[in-house]
Amino acid sequence: MKARVTVTLKTGILDPQGKAIEGALKSLGVDAVASVRQGKVFDIELAGADKAKAEAVLKEAADKLLANTVIENYRVEIV
């Protein structure tokens, strides 16, 4: 089973990297960009086919390591 965990910064957390990317896009003439927030994507392969169990495992992975929940949110998807 394939899954994806997306980690993003919580609203209100300053994102200097996103700001720099936003500035670079604007300087490239991609003017319609209003703002950029950057994050991380983890593509994960899981053994087994139980969807509910897989979601629990991914949640555990995100809470224990993939995200720092002080500043980040995460979303788990089975793809």
Partner 1 sequence: MKAAILVFPGINRDRDMARALKLISGHEPAMVWHAETSLPAGTDLVVVPGGFSYGDYLRCGAIAARAPVMDAVRDYAAKGGLVLGVCNGFQILCESGLLPGVLMRNARLKFICHDVHLRVERSDTPFTRGYNAGQVIRVPVAHGEGNYEADEETIKRLEGEGRVLYRYCSADGVVDEAHNINGAAQSIAGIVNDKGNVLGMMPHPENHVEDIMGCTDGRGLFAGLVQHLEKAA
Residue 63 is a binding residue for partner 1 (CB under 8 A): no
38 or 75: whose CB is closer to partner 1?
A: 38
Which 7-46 positions form the footprint of partner 1 (CB under 8 A)?
Answer: 13-14, 16-17, 20
CA-to-CA separations, 50 to 4, 54, 57, 65, in angstroms, rounded: 16, 6, 11, 22
Residue 68 is a binding residue for partner 1 (CB under 8 A): yes
Q: Quote the least distance from Cβ 65 to partner 1, whole Å.
A: 6
